[in-house]
Structure 1
């Protein structure tokens, strides 16, 4: 009898817990609500090139030069501390038609400090460019309902990247590996993850011309994340 009661209690507990699991949000819920984006849903040959962790006094200017050479636009997810240190680089990127996004102030992704991290960086970006950043990229791509809610309250969409377009340039890979990753997985609407700081970004700089030449040959246009959001169809 006792065993039977325990079984019944177990079933009741499962039934009580089930609605919470069913109602929990996933990527597709956030995309449908328009609160986050991983990639654009489109047949148009457009991609969004994104660069995290900068600006960097050496790497960022080289990347900007390459983007200008190939007439491609990108989105730079800057850290507030770096933006405050190198405002001229942020302003240059902005003047050249690139988007400036928020990537926290100190690369601290803790929920406890996220509100302050976003606020400080938003203020710095707006002071430099005169424009409030429209998008936010979480540290390490770590997101949940709380992260997205905090960004949403600040009027910002969370910008991730296509699951097969993490170049892993943060993982000490060579330029050939980076280029092959992007070219081998290329699809219309891709949001592609690069870095312009946080380590040796020489391989990224060496890979970019290879990638962008391929884009040109295939008729792809490099646009900002906000442009991707505006130009792609609703899910």
Structure 2
């Protein structure tokens, strides 16, 4: 049994009207996050347009956008390919994430007037629960983990920090999801998140930042251990659920 809580609304709302290219872009990024497209996969614009039921023009626009962001590359006369993971770039993104999040928790402890307390209350409802109330659903915990870190930054009240952090989160999502394939990592996440929240509640900024730094560093080390084999295992597991 685990607690039922509402999803965290920590990211800006999507525009009410999106172009077909935007929809294709979001779907392809989701395919990467869900391991339906993994590093090394090759495909053509025609295959994507037929699968999604759209013309090739929005598909091409979406793919060029994904190419600019480093997810895919165009192959001469042979379609497109999902790029291998760039672990040096992931390292840099984790370093940036650590700066943003530790700065945010200091602000949460030092500037109460700007703090979004409702967001912190939602985090408490998810993470400060008894062991029997914890979720064992790895996919759900992965989503909650991402929302936890986004909420810490958003709750601090600096919109530009939240925007940059959202972009970093978007770019490391696929690799972070692979960190939640084993139960010990879920247990550790609950324990570490609860300690961070308790330090914030007590306005102990240095302690909260130290705990958060160690928490992110552990995840960063795990990312460096990820292999292509794990990615394909995750794809098979995802396919078995669908």
TM-score by length of 2: 0.25
Bigger relative contact order, structure 1 or 2, given CA contacts below 8 A and separation 6+?
Answer: 1
TM-score by length of 1: 0.26
